[in-house]
Structures are given as C-alpha cells and as structure tokens.
C-alpha cells in the first residue's frame, strides 16, 4: 500500500529550483519564428487593429526593424508581402522578391527567412486562389500551377523556406518538383498542413486587406479545414509530409493542442505551432484590461503548445521570447 506522504506532489512544486528541475517542457528563444508584414508603395508604417506592437512596415523601414528583432534574439522570420496591385488572373510577385533580396543581401546567413506563399494578398476578391467565372468555386489545379511558379521566384530571390498557406490539394508536390528541377532542392518547405478555417485570423486579414469579399464564396470553408474534423487535419498534414514538406504547421495553435499531439505521434517531421493574430490579440486584450501579466500569459500559452508537441513556435511576440524566458520560466 502507498503511504499518504510517499506521493506528495507538492515537493516538486515547492520552489523555483524544484519546478525548473521537474519541468517536462523547456522553452528556448531558438524555437521561435517572428512574422512580419511589408506593404508596397506605403510611405509610413501603419498599425494593425488588435495587434499591439506589430506594424505593417515599408520597404525603407524593414531593415532596421529586422535589426531590432535580431537584437532581441530573433534569427528566424516569416515574411508576409502585401503588394500594391491586385488582380483575378495575372499576378506580379516582384515586390515580394525585392524585399527578400534586400533582406538576404543585408543579413545573409544571420537570418533564416521563410516566405508565406498564398494568393490572398494578390487577388481582388481576397481568396487564396483563382475563382471560377461564376465565383462559386476555387480552381485548385490552376492555382497550384501559379503557386509553384511563385515559389520558384521566391527561391530565386533567396528565401530560405517556402511556407504555403493556401490549402490547395497537391501544392507541396508541385512546388517541391519545380524547385528541384531548378536546382533549389535545398530550399525547405514549411507546409500549413493543418490549417483550420478560423475566426482567429481577423487582425491578419485587416493587415493584409485579405478578408474574402462578400460574394457567392464568402468564406474559406471549402478549402480550409473544419475545426470539427480531426481526421481531415491529420490526413491533410500527413499527405503534405508525404509530398515532401519538411516542417508541418498547425494553425491556429492554442485551441488545437490535440492536433499538435496527434501529428507529433504520427510524423517524424518538426511540428510548428502558429499562434495566430486573433489568438495573440485575445491575450493582449486581457493584458490591456489588467486581467493578466503579459510575459507570463504568453509563456503559459507557448508552453502549452510545446507540451502538446510543437518544437517550433510562430508568434507575434517572438521578439520578446528571449527576454521573457530568461526572466521568468515557471
Ligand atoms: C494566408 C494566411 C492567413 C494567415 C496566414 N496566412 C489568413 C487566412 O488564411 O485567412 C493567418 C495568420 C494570422 O492570423 O496570424 N492565407
């Protein structure tokens, strides 16, 4: 029989030293990726509603912003280009490639630069791909062809990683094939493998002017995964891994720990958790209203993602990770 005090768990919680030793999860700033936005033809940086501390930057401010992130310990980035012109059929990717060349020429190997690959900032209707003429359907294969061409341009410009977030079928295979045929076999793909149709993308869509325009297809439910379908998420993510994705992302992250854990158990690829704009904004609102402590709140959230099995965390507060993790761990 077990005596009462043989199982006193409170000894392991008794002080900071014991808690640090007993922890099953340890965060490091090295696991973090900082997203950033740059908009074409904009003269001064603009704020994004709800995303405190995050600005949409300009071509002339982005270098100093990356420098300041690097001073805070960030080395990995996820770039969201916002081009000035939009279309339904013809897309010009030169703004994205220009910013990539600028950053890689300036910082070289000191930074790892992933670029989001999607058409939602390029289309007039805000959808992630081409629409059929009646506006009712997304044209999967035609979109994939354009995305692969876009990926090749991004690779030629010097991005270290392509991060497809469009959710078309077969895009990982098409991108991997085109990159390899052009000797870009060393460029990584971080697939938004389990990307759910979510209310938590609101501030991001404001930032990128990419909310789908109200018409026949007025949401992304026919291509992003339903939060009620775990099997769809697992099938999609495992398929992306089989098509050659190097990193698999789960997004949103905080409410999707079960998805992270299930993929961690099934795949050998690194799993990235993307704490998206609305999730970040929700935490910041708690802080703003005096209901939580900022560093501790983000650390607790990140710890939950790591505990579920994420080895990579994408967060709008990644620039604070080093400072916060050093200051107060648990
Ligand atoms: C583009 C894309 C989105 C996000 C990342 N890439 C928005 C969407 O799918 O509507 C969301 C990121 C965030 O909310 O922080 N497809």
Q: What are the pLDDT tens digits along the chain (330 aa)?
A: 666 667 788 999 999 999 999 999 999 999 999 999 999 999 999 999 889 999 999 999 999 999 999 999 999 999 999 999 999 999 999 999 999 999 999 999 999 999 999 999 999 999 999 999 988 899 999 999 999 999 999 999 999 999 999 999 999 999 999 999 999 999 999 999 999 999 999 999 988 888 887 666 878 999 999 999 999 999 999 999 999 999 999 999 999 999 999 999 999 999 999 999 999 999 999 999 999 999 999 999 999 999 999 999 999 999 999 999 998 767
Residues 38 and 82 sit within 8 Å (Cβ to Cβ): yes
Pocket of ligand 1 (CB under 6 A): 116, 118, 120, 128, 165, 201, 204-205, 220, 276-277
208-215 LR contacts (CB < 8 Å, sep 24+): 208/37, 208/80, 208/82, 208/120, 208/121, 209/82, 209/121, 209/126, 210/120, 210/121, 210/126, 211/126, 212/120, 212/125, 212/126, 212/127, 213/124, 213/125, 213/126, 215/125, 215/135
Distance 204 CA to ligand 1 centre (A): 6
**Which atom of ligand 1 approaches the CA of 224 most closely?**
9
Q: Is the peptide bond before 252 cis (omega within 30 degrees of 0)?
A: yes
- Residue pair 254/280 in contact by the 8 Å Cβ criterion: no
CA-proximal residue: ligand 1, atom 7 (nearest): 201
Which residue out of 104, 251, 322, 327 is catalytically annotated?
Answer: 251
- pLDDT score of 298: 97
Identify the CA nearest to 127 among candidates 201, 49, 223, 199.
Answer: 223
Distance 118 CA to ligand 1 centre (A): 9
pLDDT at site 211: 85
Helix (H/G/I), strand (E/B), else coil: 114? strand
- Ligand 1 midpoint to CA 13 (Å): 39
Distance CA 97, CA 162 (A): 12
pLDDT at 203: 94
State pTM to two decimals.
0.96
CA distance readout (Å), 25 to 16, 22, 28:
15, 9, 10
Listed residue (120, 56, 118) closest to 88, CA to CA: 120
Annotated active-site residue 327? The verdict is no
Sign of CA dihedral 223, 201, 279, 249: positive
For residue 17, count CB atoms less than 10 angstroms from its CB and return exposed for 0-12, middle for 13-18, buried for 19 or more.
exposed
Ligand 1 atom 8: the closest Cα is on which residue? 201
d(CA 172, CA 3): 56
CA of 201 to the centre of ligand 1 (A): 6
pLDDT of 328 reads 72
Region label for 306, one of left (φ > 0), alpha (ψ between -120 and 50) or beta (otherwise) = alpha
d(C-alpha 66, C-alpha 104), whole Å: 11
**pLDDT at site 329:** 66
CA distance 255 to 326: 26
What is residue 215's predicted lDDT score, i.e. its pLDDT? 65
State yes or no: is 195 an active-site residue.
yes
Q: Which atom of ligand 1 is nearest to the CA of 80?
A: 6
CB 121 within 8 A of CB 165: no
Closest to 222 in 3D by CA, of 170, 274, 172, 166? 166
Phi, psi of 167 (to 5 degrees): 70, 25
Nearest ligand 1 atom to the CA of 211 is 10
């Amino acid at each position: 029989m077990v005596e009462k005090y043989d199982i006193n768990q409170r000894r392991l919680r008794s002080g900071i030293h014991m808690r640090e030793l007993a922890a099953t999860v340890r965060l490091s700033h090295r696991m973090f990726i900082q997203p950033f936005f740059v908009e074409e033809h904009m003269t001064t940086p603009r704020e994004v509603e709800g995303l405190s501390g995050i600005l949409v930057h300009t071509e002339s401010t982005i270098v100093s912003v990356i420098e300041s992130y690097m001073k805070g310990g960030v080395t990995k980035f996820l770039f969201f280009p916002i081009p000035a012109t939009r279309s339904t059929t013809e897309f010009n990717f030169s703004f994205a490639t220009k910013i990539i060349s600028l950053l890689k020429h300036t910082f070289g190997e000191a930074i790892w630069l992933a670029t989001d690959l999607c058409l939602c900032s390029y289309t007039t209707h805000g959808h992630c791909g081409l629409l059929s003429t009646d506006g009712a359907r997304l044209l999967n294969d035609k979109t994939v062809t354009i995305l692969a061409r876009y990926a090749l341009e991004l690779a030629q410009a010097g991005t270290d990683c392509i991060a497809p977030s469009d959710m078309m079928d077969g895009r990982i295979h098409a991108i991997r094939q085109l990159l390899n045929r052009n000797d870009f076999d060393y460029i990584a793909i971080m697939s938004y493998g389990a990307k759910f149709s979510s209310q938590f993308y609101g501030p991001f869509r404001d930032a990128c002017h990419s909310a789908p325009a109200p018409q026949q297809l007025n949401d992304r439910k026919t291509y992003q995964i339903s939060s009620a379908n775990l099997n769809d998420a697992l099938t999609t993510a495992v398929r992306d891994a089989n098509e050659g994705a190097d990193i698999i992302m789960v997004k949103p992250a905080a409410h999707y720990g079960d998805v992270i854990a299930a993929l961690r158990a099934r795949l050998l690829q690194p799993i990235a958790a993307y704490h998206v704009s609305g999730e970040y904004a929700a935490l910041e609102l708690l802080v703003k209203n005096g209901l939580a402590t900022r560093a501790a709140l983000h650390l607790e959230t990140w710890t939950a993602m790591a505990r579920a099995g994420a080895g990579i965390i994408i967060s709008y507060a990644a620039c604070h990770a080093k400072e916060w993790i050093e200051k107060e761990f648990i």
